[in-house]
Amino acid sequence: MYDVYAVRKDFPVLKEVVYLDNTATTQTPIPVVETMIDYFYRYAGNYGRGAHRLARETTNHYEDAREIVASFLNAEPLNTVFTKNTTEGINLIANSYPWEVGDHIVTTLLEHHSNLLPWMRLQKKGVNITVINPDNKGKIDSYLLENAFTEKTKLLAITQVSNVFGSVQDVKGMTKIAHRNNIKVLIDGAQSAGHMPVDLKDIGCDFFATSGHKGLLGSQGTGVLYVKEPDVLESASVGGGTVSDVSESTYTLEPSPACFEAGTPNIPGVIGLGRAVEYVEKIGISKIKKHEMNLSREAAKKLSELEHVEVYGPENSLGIVPFNVKGLNAHDVALILDQTKQICVRSGYHCAIPITRFLKVDGTVRASFALYNTIEEMDILVKAVSELKALVS
Ligand SMILES: Cc1ncc(COP(=O)(O)O)c(C=O)c1O
């Protein structure tokens, strides 16, 4: 049995608000905050740079976090790079891959700007991109993907879970198709890690980027980038921490992951992320997935029953419910929910303008559920939205 009320004790802010903006960022549990405080109070030093006790302890904790995170995603520590977020991870690939004029990238209209703009920008270097449309429930047809591949296609860049719909793509199947065509695969896992099992060896993808501050329950300013074959890339950012030797005219890079982690990283954040992943593992990722999907399914069902509400997205969304109140602007709805019922939801384009326009709307309200949300909170949301009828009729 999943005891959501026990879990909630680790998130003090939940006494104040109905927090349903988990797709943007989640709350961080007390044990994770305490882990970060412990770093500051007991052993703060720099990472990988020093022989003294504090520097060594810091480095050990940082590397422990890498092992925990790598094992959680079924990756190896050497392939697991810490970044500041998903966006940085994806940009690192876009800026480090040896593109050639005429190369081709396939991506989708579902993508968050973070998995679209880095590829669009490569057009200036002569790289072409093709953007595949999903259906109106946020699903990508693998057949359309394969049809878009050409002899020049080097990369498929696709999100595992849409931040607008909560739709889940069969990234393992897509990776197989891409690899059959000698195409590398980058998965945007910002909304999958921590919300559903993610086994990178099983998926087989080449790159996977995620954030620490979403489903993984870590702090903002942390992220993870998986790179299956680090030698394919040329580090885009070099400096302290990335090299084993430097002469007057050249340098020798460290192997992965150090060559990709230039400069002093977010040490407390990364150490906290290791603790956060342990926290998620202890609760159990399958339980979390089931709990979040139950809440979103129920919320979508109840909201759809309201005449003045339009709900988008698939029935089996991974915890995300996009909707609109007919006749009201999405931001106004979010503001009213906040000011009258202390409900926090996101509104607008969700950093995904193309897919929101594809729905022919000027934004949506997005309620997104996490492991600590309750059925009572879901009912509070539905009741509050139902009361908005008075404003539209
Ligand atoms: C699917 C998806 N990709 C990328 C991002 C960017 O994440 P971050 O801002 O942590 O880099 C988000 C953020 O919401 C997202 O939902």
For ligand 1, mutation pick of 108, 191, 222, 347 (most atoms within 8 Å of CB): 191
Between the CA of residue 116 and those of 85, 94, 353, what are the distances in Å? 15, 10, 11
In this structure, is residue 18 part of a structural domain?
no
Calculate how far, in angstroms, residue 387's C-alpha sits from the geometric centre of ligand 1. 32
Answer whether 112 contacts ligand 1 (Cβ < 6 A): yes
306 and 180, same structural domain?
Answer: no
Order of all β-strands in the sheet with 223-227: 80-83, 223-227, 207-211, 184-188, 153-159, 104-108, 128-132
The pLDDT assigned to 196 comes to 98
**Measured in angstroms, how far is the CA atom of residue 210 from the centroid of ligand 1?**
8
Do residues 358 and 109 touch, judged by C-beta distance below 8 A? yes
Task: Please work out whether the CB of residue 160 comes within 6 Å of at least one atom of ligand 1.
Answer: no
Best residue among 213, 351, 364 to mutate for probing ligand 1, ranked by most atoms within 8 Å of CB: 351
Separation between Cα atoms, residue 20 and residue 366, nearest integer Å? 8
Residues 347 and 228 in one domain: no
Q: Which amino acid is at 93?
A: I
- Return the pLDDT at 187: 98
The CB of 190 under 6 Å from ligand 1? The reply is yes
For a mutational test of ligand 1's pocket, the pick from 111, 211, 353, i.e. the residue with the most ligand atoms closer than 8 A to its C-beta, is 211
Q: Is residue 325 part of a domain?
A: yes
- In our burial notation (b when 16+ CB lie closer than 10 A, e otherwise), range 176-211 reads ebbeeeebbbbbbbbbbbbbbebebeebebbbbbbb
211 Cβ below 6 A of ligand 1:
yes
Question: If you take atom 12 of ligand 1, which residue's CA is the nearest one?
Answer: 190
Domain boundary among 282, 308, 330: 282
**Whether the model pTM is above 0.95:** yes
Q: Are residues 37 and 109 in the same domain?
A: yes
What is the Cα–Cα distance from 318 to 295, expressed in whole angstroms? 9
Which one-letter DSSP state was computed for residue 62? H
Residues 268, 375, single domain; the answer is no
* Residue 331 and residue 353 in one domain: yes
Do the Cβ atoms of 316 and 168 come closer than 8 Å?
A: yes
The SS3 assignment for 301 reads: helix
Rounded Cα gap, residues 93 and 36, in angstroms:
29
Residue 252: enclosing H or E segment and its boundaries?
Answer: strand 251-253
| 73 and 176 inside one domain | yes
Q: How far is CA 86 from the centre of its chain?
A: 6
311: β partners: 323
CA 105 – CA 42 distance, rounded (Å)? 47
**Domains in the chain: how many in total?**
2
Q: Is ligand 1 within 6 A of the CB of residue 114?
A: yes
Domain boundary at 220, 249, 282, which? 282
Ligand 1 within 6 A of CB of 191:
yes
The DSSP H or E segment spanning 310 is strand 309-311
Q: Is 364 in the pocket of ligand 1 (CB under 6 A)?
A: no
Query: Are residues 88 and 237 located together in one domain of the fold?
Result: yes
Please report whether residue 21 resides in a domain.
no
Q: Which residues, given as ranges, of the chain have pLDDT below 70?
A: none
For residue 236, the model assigns a pLDDT of 85
- Is the residue at 199 inside a domain? yes
In terms of domains, do 265 and 388 share one?
no
Is the same domain home to 160 and 255?
yes
Are 308 and 162 within one domain? Answer: no
Cα(114) to ligand 1 centroid in Å equals: 6
CATH (domain of 160): 3.40.640.10
Active site residues: 351
Q: Which of 282, 304, 338 is the last residue before a domain boundary?
A: 282
Ligand 1 site, residue 27, Cβ cutoff 6 A = no
351 CA distance to ligand 1 centroid (A)?
Answer: 8
pLDDT in tens, 348-365: 999 999 999 999 999 999
Q: Which atom of ligand 1 sits closest to the CA of residue 86?
A: 11
* Tally of CA atoms within 13 A in the half-sphere of 357 that contains its CB: 7
Q: Which residue range(s) make up the domain with 360? A: 284-392
Rounded to the nearest whole angstrom, what is the distance from the C-alpha of residue 279 to the centroid of ligand 1? 22
For ligand 1, whether the C-beta of 87 sits within 6 Å is yes
